[in-house]
Amino acid sequence: MNEERYGHRVRQALNHGLKDIPPAASRRLEAARHLALSRQKQAVPQMALAGFGGSSFRLGSHVPYLKQILAIAALLLGMWISFYWHSVQYVSALEEVDSALLTDDLPPDAFLDNDFFEWLLDDSPEE
């Protein structure tokens, strides 16, 4: 709050002194101001990532496509998690089927019989 008051007082003092500046000097000052503003470097926004031990890693113009890279990484991670989840579900379903077949009254040798497979594939209605 004190800085705002100080800035306000400086601005008043500078505005008060404007009356005493000749017009030619005022034009030169304005031209110098525009020249200085055109030469002023634009501030590059930087992202700081906290490191270990209080050090920080600055990301400025070194990684111009950081958001896109992070989005692609998140997408790939999501796809991998989805693939893993579905594979676990598939293996669980196969385990249930195998357990049901092994605990059934039908002997396992019956599943190796070709006639049994033909009987399973036969869609004709029974007479």
CA angle 46, 47, 51 (to 5 degrees): 130
Q: Match 């579905």 to its residue by tokens.
A: 86
Judge if 38 and 70 occupy the same domain: no
Judge if 121 and 83 occupy the same domain: yes
Asked, for residue 50, whether it belongs to a domain, the answer is: no
Residues 6+ apart with CB under 8 A from 11: none
Number of domains in the chain: 2
Which domain, by its residues, includes 2?
Answer: 1-42
* DSSP character string of 33-64: HHHHHHHSPPPPP-EEEE-GGG-EEEESTT-T
pLDDT > 80? residue 91 = yes
Judge if 74 and 111 occupy the same domain: yes
pLDDT > 70? residue 70 = yes
Distance of CA 66 to the CA centre of its chain: 8
Q: Average pLDDT, whole number, for the chain?
A: 78
Is-above-0.85 flag for pTM?
no
In angstroms, rounded to a whole number, what is the distance separating the alpha carbons of residues 114 and 120? Answer: 10
Judge if 88 and 118 occupy the same domain: yes
In angstroms, rounded to a whole number, what is the distance separating the alpha carbons of residues 28 and 109? Answer: 103
CB count within 10 Å of CB 55 equals: 7
Which residue did the predictor score with more confidence, 110 or 23? 23
Read off the pLDDT of residues 47-64 as tens digits, 9 standing for 90 and up: 655 555 544 555 555 667
Asked, for residue 115, whether it belongs to a domain, the answer is: yes
